[in-house]
């Protein structure tokens, strides 16, 4: 099916998905200056989560994962290091590479983030049937992958050859 342009989805469907996406962003707290019962902005929360899930990462790797500019990553990482959430280490194979890892405080914040997020999702899913919960899971996974695919395809089409 590669190379075959699919017809555009119905405009009502598109607008409904957009409205649901905006509502989810607001309900998840992304419009607030801090997120997930922390004193950190969303980008910092996601940094702690990604390093907690993946292990040490460089600022460049974080920028790629989080889709943030180098200057934004640098400021945010500096604040997380200064607040004691992250520490820079030195790669034994290349001293120029400085992977970031969670400190003890960062691991405690990570645990609190997981607890907060799990409670929030459990609460939201609790009013749904088992089948509806699976539908939500599958739908979100499909939508997230579709967004990722679209972004990658759009970026490829925009880059000069």
Question: Residue 9 burial by CB count (10 A; 0-12/13-18/19+): exposed, middle or buried?
Answer: exposed
pLDDT digits (tens, 9 = 90+) for 44-69: 999 999 999 999 999 999 999 999 99
Q: What pLDDT was estimated at residue 160?
A: 59
**What pLDDT score was predicted for residue 96?**
87
Mean pLDDT of 112-141: 96
Q: Is the pLDDT of residue 2 over 70?
A: no
Task: Give the confidence band of 110 by pLDDT, cuts at 50, 70, 90.
Answer: very high
A 10 A CB-CB count for 69 gives 10
Strand 100-102, strand 86-88: pairing:
antiparallel
pLDDT per residue as tens digits for the range 3-29: 556 567 799 999 999 999 999 999 988
> 11-126 sits in which CATH class?
mainly alpha
């Amino acid at each position: 099916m590669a190379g075959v342009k699919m017809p555009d989805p119905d405009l009502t469907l598109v607008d409904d998905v957009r409205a649901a996406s905006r509502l989810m962003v607001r309900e998840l707290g992304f419009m607030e200056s801090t997120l997930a019962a922390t004193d950190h902005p969303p980008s910092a929360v996601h940094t702690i989560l990604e390093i907690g899930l993946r292990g040490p990462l460089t600022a460049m790797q974080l920028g790629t994962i989080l889709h943030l500019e180098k200057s934004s990553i640098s400021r945010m990482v500096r604040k997380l290091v200064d607040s004691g959430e992250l520490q820079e280490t030195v790669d034994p194979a290349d001293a120029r590479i400085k992977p970031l890892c969670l400190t003890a405080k960062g691991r405690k914040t990570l645990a609190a983030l997981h607890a907060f997020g799990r409670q929030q999702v459990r609460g939201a899913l609790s009013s749904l049937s088992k089948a509806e919960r699976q539908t939500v899971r599958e739908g979100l996974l499909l939508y997230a992958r579709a967004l990722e695919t679209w972004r990658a395809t759009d970026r490829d089409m925009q880059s000069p050859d």
